[in-house]
Structure 1
Amino acid sequence: MCAYLFVHFKEKRTPDGEQVYFGISRNGFDWESVNQEKPVLWSYYGDKGVRDHTIIRTKTGEFVILATDLSLSYGMLNQYQGSWETISRHGSKSLALWRSQDLINWEPQEMIPLGNEHFGCLWAPDIIYDQHNEDYIVHWSSAHADNNFGPKAIYYARTKDFRDFSEPNILYKKEDSGVIDSAMYEENGLYYLFVKSEGHPANIILLRSDHITGPFEKIEAFDHGMGELETGVYEAPTATKLADNRWALFLDFYGTKDAAGHGYIPFLADSLASGEFTRADTNFSFPYGFKHGTILAITDEEFERLQHYQKQPSEY
Structure 2
Amino acid sequence: MDAYLFVHFKEKKTPDGEQVYFALSKDGFNWEPVNDGLPVLWSKLGDEGVRDHTIVRTRSGKFYILATDLGLANGFDTKYRGNWENIGREGSKCLSLWESDDLVNWSEQRMIPLGDEDFGCLWAPDVIYDHRNEDYVIHWSSAHASNNYGHKAIYYTRTKDFESFTAPQMLCRKDGSGIIDSAIYEENGLFYRFLKSEADPASIILQKGKTLTGEYTRIEAFEAEMAKLESTAYEAPTAFKLADGRWCLMLDFYGVQGEGQGYVPFIADDIDSGLFIRSDASFNFPYRFKHGTVLSITSEEYERILRIKA
Give the TM bin, normalised by the shorter chain. over 0.9
Alignment of 1:98-247 (within 5 A): 98-247=98-247
Deviation of 1:307 (Å):
1.2
Deviation of 1:232 (Å):
3.0
Deviation of 1:305 (Å):
1.0
Aligned letter for 1:304? Answer: E
Larger mean Cα displacement after TM superposition, 131-140 or 228-237: 228-237
Q: Is the 8 A contact 2:151 2:179 kept in 1?
A: yes
CA distance in 1, matches of 2:74, 2:308: 28
CA distance in 1, matches of 2:300, 2:187: 27
CA distance in 2, matches of 1:214, 1:73: 38
Percentage of identical aligned residues:
62
Aligned letter for 1:274? Answer: S
- 1:273 counterpart SS class: helix
Deviation of 1:176 (Å):
1.6
- Normalising by structure 2, what TM-score? 0.99
- Normalising by structure 1, what TM-score? 0.97
* Residue in structure 1 matched with residue 264 of structure 2 by the alignment: 265
* Residue in structure 1 matched with residue 81 of structure 2 by the alignment: 81
CA distance in 1, matches of 2:160, 2:221: 35
* Residue in structure 2 matched with residue 36 of structure 1 by the alignment: 36
CA distance in 2, matches of 1:176, 1:216: 17
Structure 1 runs of 4+ with >2 Å offset? none
CA distance in 1, matches of 2:309, 2:292: 21
- 2:177 counterpart SS class: coil
- 2:305 counterpart SS class: helix
Deviation of 1:244 (Å):
0.2
CA distance in 2, matches of 1:98, 1:215: 32
Q: Is the 8 A contact 1:122 1:142 kept in 2?
A: yes
Deviation of 1:179 (Å):
0.2
Q: Is 1:297 matched up with 2:299?
A: no
CA distance in 1, matches of 2:185, 2:299: 23
CA distance in 1, matches of 2:285, 2:166: 38
Aligned letter for 2:248? Answer: A
Q: Is the 8 A contact 1:202 1:231 kept in 2?
A: no
Q: Is the 8 A contact 1:158 1:165 kept in 2?
A: yes
Q: Is the 8 A contact 2:153 2:180 kept in 1?
A: yes
Size of the alignment, in residue pairs?
A: 310
* Residue in structure 2 matched with residue 314 of structure 1 by the alignment: none
